Structure 1
């Protein structure tokens, strides 16, 4: 639990170690700077309200300059200096990037691409997750670090490696091939079972010896789809096993120090099955960077929400985000005034008890020298550092929120890694399908209606939600199909979409018509998919928007996908038909009453605007409604964290205009201004937090 880390911090804002507090800090890389800068760093950290930093993330070459040579003196000095300044250390194991002496002596630790190319040193993370040679050297370093700093008073947590799998999730080397075969033996037991699961009767792929099996390396055509899916599963598991190896050493030597590693729940980072990793660490940590696009802050909120779902609703640690511009996008735009605070507090709203940045001081050299930091190139006399200091004060004001869990919403959006992996593989009806985008569109539509939703995994307790949205739930094992049926029949309301229910856990199609495993629950049958070309759209009847200049309603538009739906159950209502396209006149959106609940199907991509038109109809009978005044829905995002005796309402202005919220009761903790009529006024992009008694 992150509470263990909080309890180990040197002191609270009032000097009491037991006082609640939020973590505020950054990655700190003192080895990039002369010793004369270190004292100034600590002084500025105290000025900004920093109480914890991550150290030694990329320090292997400095700590171990040669195979049998160690240099801990500089790190001892840094640890002592930080402790004297009242700053805790989340100490990295320094294994993220092997030093040149190791890759020179042992090039066999370097990853290999699907095309057989070696990934050479010169950047970072150039190591094979399954390399026994790498593991031997890395775990030796971990043990040395743990023994040396086990009793250091600055140590508050261990940070395993860094962004595991960011650049080396898929390795196709001989080491990986051997480990993949071992993983497959454990999964299937026999070659007959593997051949059945992989459908090797197709294209003469039947295996008669385990040694014949390889990773899905560069092939003449589409590699076996189940082989691809299993290799994704194996690759995530291989890194998980490496995480466990480091963790076990740390727990043995320093049993009272919590262990974490930083996930990357953001964008298209999908190689690591984070819900499966979450139980391996003492608290979940995440790195997130705002992605350019029309849904940029919706994506931030979605990712923070999903991180909370992965953490089981418990508080988590925001290990990295940016104060301003990053360095790795095609065009790296600086954040606007107010964005630094809003981005940070959105994470807190969704359960983060720590707000940290990459990095403390902006590098003068190296690949990330144009990536923003808490202390920019301009120094402390800068708008960025002043905004950082203001955020530090805000987080101190929000200290009572520390430890509060996120209050469960009544709508859940299911996010499933197997479906993400499998639905976007090759040789499918459309290569344009984007699993994450469809889920994000539903989330944005709910935000536009002012409705709170949780982004959850299939491990969550589905009965906690009145409405369950499962977009592109492509992989549906029989057990999940039964659970969804039970959920609906006992009063839940399910919504799913195109390309859902199509295959089982082995990526075998459920026969008899689509949507396969969900066909009877939905009361429909589809014989053929109707994917749309990039330039094609279809119009739908029944979801017209506001009247246009000529008085006619604007029809909803579908893109990407259509389905040839036949209704097979009399309890099915058609909510919308196709007005145009190949399936004009046929159902586009259906809903079946089943037991005490319902199951709905959406056969095209409507985007956030179209889904916002559809959702009010889907919400009928669910008991779900917005908790915000009608005049601010869509303009303000509401998220709630709660303790046994208090609710903390986070109110986020999603617009670039001032917004007033009438009728809000409670004690303001930070942000907003109270008008004469009692309304809470939010400045553009401002976040306010209001405390209410627990009901």
Structure 2
């Protein structure tokens, strides 16, 4: 199977989306000149070019793309060639309205934007396959081709009649009989029993709360339906070019795809990363997405998109301060990226993304943003061969599961304030601030390589996952879990005792009597080695043989355990305030034998080891000095480092 290394050639790729169809061809020569001067090695072409390639059904206009591919190759720039199927032409929606997605209330999602297709539509799939086949046949042997990029940011949901038929086929494959479906969905509740398959519909807009098990299965189905679209196009290009790797770009922490399942189908795992420059913890957010993507890839991965400056999709779009783009680019390399790309090369002058920044902005080649792009390209050229293909090793895994997220955030839950990504981010932040590099893992993955496994919040756990966690602890691993973990099985059926019995035995909990979600603005005081405040949630636990590490101080839960420990298994029944969670996880990690990459880092400084290189990244608001044991050579400047290194604001050091 081809890999990212087949596209990179043992270097770090640098570039971005290139949309030359928006510009006169005389602009192209200027583009490739500037790309060469900026050390651009790769561009992604054709992402939204369907209407240009197929202006009318069945017609093909490849002449412009032929000239572009040849021009890029002549100037030594590789091409990630996209199938343009994320944005069907207007003629498809007009002539085939059955290809348009429908909302939960049956309303049509019209063309005029992008991603306006029903993933289950056989008409859409046929047109998508036809244009993919022609692209593969025409450019499969082109010397500029480095990688295939299928579609773009799969994110379409649909509740139409064709989707309903597809959903029923998916359910029949999963359950075989309506009797098994009724049992899994608990349809005895509210007289929801299904007698025949034709009665089953997607969870459309309803009078009141919808069946949560049906909704959960529909989320599973939608991820699988989109994945079918991806694999259909992937198989077409792979059959023609088995030596060329294939990817599609994930959106960070996107709810619509089970990225564990998707990553298994990709040669290269890629992601679009857009932290908010106004977020003081944007560096941690970026690190979390990078850790998650690296873990899905099980090795080097690709930044498919990031912004050179401002984006256009927030209510207020602030540009990146000087040096921040460089910091975040090198952070992604530190955490395993072998390709750093942007959206896009030349900033659009029209359309919905004309205010989205680009490598070549409206200010032109002499503008600050483009000059910083040139610096990034030069520095990646300097260190790329040394870092490409190397790995980031972690002794800690954070468990994450899309199905648990889907199940835990449905209608009728205990607290709408519980937002799964925010909880995962809080636990990752605690370890990031402690200087501990983490992987992510699925709860059914082999966890034996990790000294510490962290479960921020997994409401749903399969029997296989529960057995895996128990075996991990019995095998010598240290496990720490957050609240509401293991409450439901794979069908969203609540387990007796409020938590799976095997987990209750593992944590030393006899019973979960009640759960106490906290209203907005309310916290709970907790006593432990150091008093702290619990946020968001509390639980009324009846312990068996567990040690109470911290207890609730007052109120209905006064004296009851907030943090429990039974041997190597810990359970945290609230969300401690950030400093307390960091202190707790630092203590547990230390006892598990996990050490930070660099001891005594100044606040805001991130240290990551990749291969034999040490990356130091300054997210603090001003310059800092980092003490180091021994002597190093700084790869970006070539100078020696002895005992300490000074990092300017947004500064980076890459040390050998």
TM-score normalised by the chain length of structure 1? 0.91
Q: Deviations over 1:554-603 (max 9, x none)?
A: x411111100011112xx1111111133212211000101xxxx111111
Tell whether the 8 Å contact from 1:404 to 1:641 is kept in structure 2 after alignment. Answer: no
Asked whether 1:625 is paired with 2:595, we answer yes
* CA distance in 2 between partners of 1:516 and 1:638 (Å): 40
Pairing partner for 2:204 from 203, 207, 217? 217
Q: Deviations over 1:225-266 (max 9, x none)?
A: 110110000000001111110011111222222111111124
Task: Measure how far apart 1:303 and its partner are.
Answer: 0.3
Task: Measure how far apart 1:461 and its partner are.
Answer: 2.5
Tell whether the 8 Å contact from 1:502 to 1:517 is kept in structure 2 after alignment. Answer: no
Pairing partner for 1:504 from 480, 486, 489? 489
Asked whether 1:574 is paired with 2:540, we answer no
Pairing partner for 2:68 from 74, 78, 92? 78
Tell whether the 8 Å contact from 2:307 to 2:342 is kept in structure 1 after alignment. Answer: yes
Asked whether 1:141 is paired with 2:118, we answer no
The equivalent residue for 1:668 is: 634
Pairing partner for 2:521 from 535, 538, 549? 535
Tell whether the 8 Å contact from 1:635 to 1:655 is kept in structure 2 after alignment. Answer: yes
SS in 2 for 1:491: coil
Tell whether the 8 Å contact from 1:501 to 1:517 is kept in structure 2 after alignment. Answer: no
* CA distance in 1 between partners of 2:639 and 2:373 (Å): 21
Tell whether the 8 Å contact from 2:519 to 2:536 is kept in structure 1 after alignment. Answer: yes
Task: Measure how far apart 1:674 and its partner are.
Answer: 5.4
Tell whether the 8 Å contact from 1:287 to 1:321 is kept in structure 2 after alignment. Answer: yes
The equivalent residue for 1:190 is: 177
Pairing partner for 2:607 from 621, 635, 638? 638
Task: Measure how far apart 1:678 and its partner are.
Answer: 3.2
Instruction: Note the 1:483-632 alignment, pairs <5 A.
Output: 483-514=468-499, 517-524=502-509, 525-542=511-528, 544=530, 555-569=531-545, 572-593=546-567, 598-630=568-600, 632=601
The equivalent residue for 1:55 is: 45
Pairing partner for 1:409 from 394, 398, 401? 394
SS in 1 for 2:357: coil
Asked whether 1:303 is paired with 2:269, we answer no
SS in 2 for 1:379: coil
Asked whether 1:655 is paired with 2:620, we answer yes
* CA distance in 2 between partners of 1:8 and 1:316 (Å): 11
* CA distance in 1 between partners of 2:620 and 2:149 (Å): 36
Change (3 A) 1:236 1:623: same
Change (3 A) 1:91 1:482: same
SS in 2 for 1:413: strand
Q: Which stretch has the larger CA shift, 621-630 or 379-388?
A: 621-630
* CA distance in 2 between partners of 1:633 and 1:378 (Å): 36
Q: Which runs of 5+ in 1 are unaligned?
A: 10-17, 545-554
Tell whether the 8 Å contact from 1:349 to 1:641 is kept in structure 2 after alignment. Answer: yes
Q: Which runs of 5+ in 2 are unaligned?
A: none
Asked whether 1:380 is paired with 2:365, we answer yes
The equivalent residue for 1:13 is: none
The equivalent residue for 2:240 is: 253
Asked whether 1:39 is paired with 2:29, we answer yes
The equivalent residue for 2:164 is: 177
Asked whether 1:678 is paired with 2:643, we answer yes
RMSD value, Cα: 1.7
* CA distance in 2 between partners of 1:179 and 1:517 (Å): 37
Pairing partner for 1:433 from 398, 413, 418? 418
* CA distance in 1 between partners of 2:529 and 2:424 (Å): 20
Task: Measure how far apart 1:35 and its partner are.
Answer: 0.9
Instruction: Kindly tell me the number of residue pairs found equivalent between the two proteins.
Output: 653
Tell whether the 8 Å contact from 1:674 to 1:681 is kept in structure 2 after alignment. Answer: no
Tell whether the 8 Å contact from 1:28 to 1:359 is kept in structure 2 after alignment. Answer: yes
SS in 1 for 2:497: coil
Instruction: Note the 1:35-434 alignment, pairs <5 A.
Output: 35-165=25-155, 168=156, 170-266=157-253, 269-291=254-276, 293-312=279-298, 314-434=299-419
Q: Deviations over 1:601-622 (max 9, x none)?
A: 1111124222012224323531
Q: Deviations over 1:525-557 (max 9, x none)?
A: 21110111112111111153xxxxxxxxxx411
Change (3 A) 1:218 1:401: farther
* CA distance in 2 between partners of 1:143 and 1:431 (Å): 46
* CA distance in 1 between partners of 2:401 and 2:637 (Å): 36
TM-score normalised by the chain length of structure 2? 0.97
Task: Measure how far apart 1:459 and its partner are.
Answer: 4.8
